[in-house]
Amino acid sequence: MPESRIPAAQVRRFLATAFESLGLPRADAATVAELMTEAELQGSDGHGVIRLVPYARRIRAGGLNLHPDIRVVKEKAAMALVDGDNGMGHLVMKKAAEIAIAKAKQCGVAWVGSRVSNHAGPASLYARMCLRHDMVGMYFAVGNANHLPPWGGLDMLLSTNPIAVAVPAGEEPPVVLDMATTVAAYGKVKAKAQRGEQMPVGWMIDRQGQPLTDPKRAEEGFLMPIGGYKGYGLAMIVGLLAGTLNGAAMGSEVVDFNKDDTTITNTGQAIVAIDPDAFGELDAFKARVDKLVRELRASERMPGVDRIWMPGEQSHAKKLANEREGLALPRALHDQLDTFAREMGIPLLQDS
């Protein structure tokens, strides 16, 4: 099955029209379309275009507020707590990132948390927003479905709770870590299912502790945390910082948005902006990052290794290639978008 290559601008226009047809105000539809296309461009295919149909399902079921009053409910010089009023997470976290950046410009560092937010796409999207202001960005989120138990347990009370950190460089691409606290993110499991592929051993186990490799059986098992109990600890801590601290859902309060389209998810996230200019000369900092990147890349390599990659370097290369060559959407996804467009009476992706 050949994959079609579609210019990013066309995908962006299609998504904007799609969200407008679902009832989002034009400016909000454009923002969400922009961020989802950005996710697709950087290769976060589990958090990109594939999410349109589930988002649409929730919107039609009344589970998302199309006209939210996204507002700061608590504030100090270097922090804010944003109530997303159950709006789309992209809108909430874009606003949160803007507040964090403005406060960090004043205070050197700022931390903005969210509650009553929703799924906002890949973690790195928001950490990367800080890069445009020459800042370091960190992002934490409570995932929107629980897929792992506490270490030694069987009840799925924790999500993959991702961490992203973006660090600006000088001539080198920025260093961007974007990782789930599990060996694989659940979005990757869904992408495997969509592509009809099997998962590697080690991504999931079933309740008997046996490897689970069929992504269609994902509901029968749970994701494995990285480093065993360490990953469990990280998932819990990220949840405490992004969820519990903000009065957002954590543990059994987390709503499985794959199964439940109406209950308010009360998703919690946090973004931290750090201004390197407060710590010293910005250019000197960037030069030190470049030096480190080059030194790591130049390391002697293990047999069979062609290149040493920095965190985020492959996403960066993918983005450049996708911008040049267009986005490659799997046939099944393309068909799904066509069906959606016909249902909504909007132009097909290829006509957008």
311 CB neighbour count, 10 Å cutoff: 17
Q: How far is the CB of 64 from a copy of itself (least distance, A)?
A: 24
The span from the CA of 108 to the CA of 43, in Å, is 31
Query: For 261, which DSSP code?
Result: S
Can you read off the two tokens belonging to residue 302?
């293990």
Interaction between residue 245 and a copy of itself (CB under 8 A): yes
Which position among 57, 230, 331, 342 is part of the footprint of a copy of itself (CB under 8 A)?
Answer: 230
Query: Site residues for a copy of itself, window 201-220 (CB under 8 A)?
Result: 209
Q: How far is the CB of 43 from a copy of itself (least distance, A)?
A: 15
Looking at the Cβ atoms of 28 and 275, the one nearer to a copy of itself is 275
Can you read off the two tokens belonging to residue 202?
């080690």
Query: Site residues for a copy of itself, window 253-282 (CB under 8 A)?
Result: 272, 274-276, 278-280
Looking at the Cβ atoms of 118 and 182, the one nearer to a copy of itself is 182
Q: How far is the CB of 120 from a copy of itself (least distance, A)?
A: 19
- Which range in 3-11, 43-51, 230-238, 339-347 contacts a copy of itself by CB under 8 A? 230-238
Closest-CA residue to 130 (of 164, 171, 172, 181)? 164
Contacts 24+ apart (CB under 8 A), 184-192: 184/223, 185/46, 185/160, 186/46, 186/143, 186/145, 186/147, 186/160, 186/218, 186/223, 187/44, 187/46, 187/47, 188/46, 189/215, 189/218, 189/223, 190/46, 190/50, 190/215, 190/218, 191/45, 191/46, 191/50
Which position among 72, 296, 320, 321 is part of the footprint of a copy of itself (CB under 8 A)?
Answer: 296
- Which range in 5-13, 27-35, 222-230, 335-343 contacts a copy of itself by CB under 8 A? 222-230
281 CB neighbour count, 10 Å cutoff: 11
Interaction between residue 283 and a copy of itself (CB under 8 A): no
8 with 322: CB under 8 angstroms? yes
Query: Site residues for a copy of itself, window 9-48 (CB under 8 A)?
Result: none
Interaction between residue 179 and a copy of itself (CB under 8 A): yes
Q: How far is the CB of 11 from a copy of itself (least distance, A)?
A: 28
Query: Site residues for a copy of itself, window 147-166 (CB under 8 A)?
Result: 149-155, 157-158, 165
Which position among 46, 87, 231, 330 is part of the footprint of a copy of itself (CB under 8 A)?
Answer: 231
Query: Site residues for a copy of itself, window 102-121 (CB under 8 A)?
Result: 106-111, 113
Q: How far is the CB of 227 from a copy of itself (least distance, A)?
A: 3
- Which range in 6-14, 187-195, 296-304, 341-349 contacts a copy of itself by CB under 8 A? 296-304
Interaction between residue 200 and a copy of itself (CB under 8 A): no
Q: How far is the CB of 278 from a copy of itself (least distance, A)?
A: 5
Distance of CA 218 to the CA centre of its chain: 20
| Beta strand pairing call for 109-117 and 79-83 | parallel
Q: How far is the CB of 314 from a copy of itself (least distance, A)?
A: 10
47 with 90: CB under 8 angstroms? no
- Which range in 16-24, 25-33, 43-51, 146-154 contacts a copy of itself by CB under 8 A? 146-154
The arrangement of strands across the sheet holding 204-206 comes to 211-212, 204-206, 221-223
DSSP-assigned states of every residue in 10-21: HHHHHHHHHHHH
Which position among 251, 258, 318, 344 is part of the footprint of a copy of itself (CB under 8 A)?
Answer: 251
18 CB neighbour count, 10 Å cutoff: 27
Query: Site residues for a copy of itself, window 49-78 (CB under 8 A)?
Result: 74-78
